[in-house]
Amino acid sequence: MLHLAVMPYRLHFRKPAPTSRGILTTRTIWFVHAWRSEAPEQVGWGESGPLPGLSRDGSEEFGLRAKQFCAQFNDAHFDSIDEAQQWVQQAIWDFPALAFGAEMALRDLHTGAQRRWWNTPFTRGEQALPTHGLIWMDDIDGILQQIETKIAAGFTVIKLKIGALPFDQELALLRTVRNAHPDVEIRLDANGAFSPAEALDRLDALAPLKIAFVEQPVQTGMWGVLADLCRCSPVPIALDEELIAIRSPEERDALLSIVRPQFLIIKPTLLGGFAASEDWIAEAEMRAIRWIINSLLESNLGLNAICQWTSALGGAQIHGLGTGGLFTNNPPSPLTLNGNCLQIDPSLPWQLPDLAETDA
Q: Which tens digits make up the pLDDT trace of 88-120? A: 999 999 999 999 999 999 999 999 999 999 999
CA–CA separation, 9 vs 94, rounded Å?
A: 22
* pTM (two decimals): 0.95
Q: What is the pLDDT of residue 324?
A: 83
**Residue 20 confidence class, pLDDT cut points 50, 70, 90:** low
**Residue 356 confidence class, pLDDT cut points 50, 70, 90:** low
Looking at the annotation, which residues are catalytic?
161, 267
pLDDT tens for each residue of 307-325: 999 999 998 899 999 988 8
* Cα 115 to chain centroid, rounded: 19
CATH of 2-110, one of 3.30.56.10, 3.30.565.10, 3.20.20.140, 3.30.390.10: 3.30.390.10
Pair 122, 341: CB distance under 8 Å: no
Q: Tell me the pairing of strands 341-344 and 335-338.
A: antiparallel
CATH 3.20.20.120 domain extents, the chain: 129-344
CATH 3.30.390.10 domain extents, the chain: 2-110
Which homologous superfamily does the CATH classification assign to the domain defined by 129-344? Enolase-like C-terminal domain (3.20.20.120)
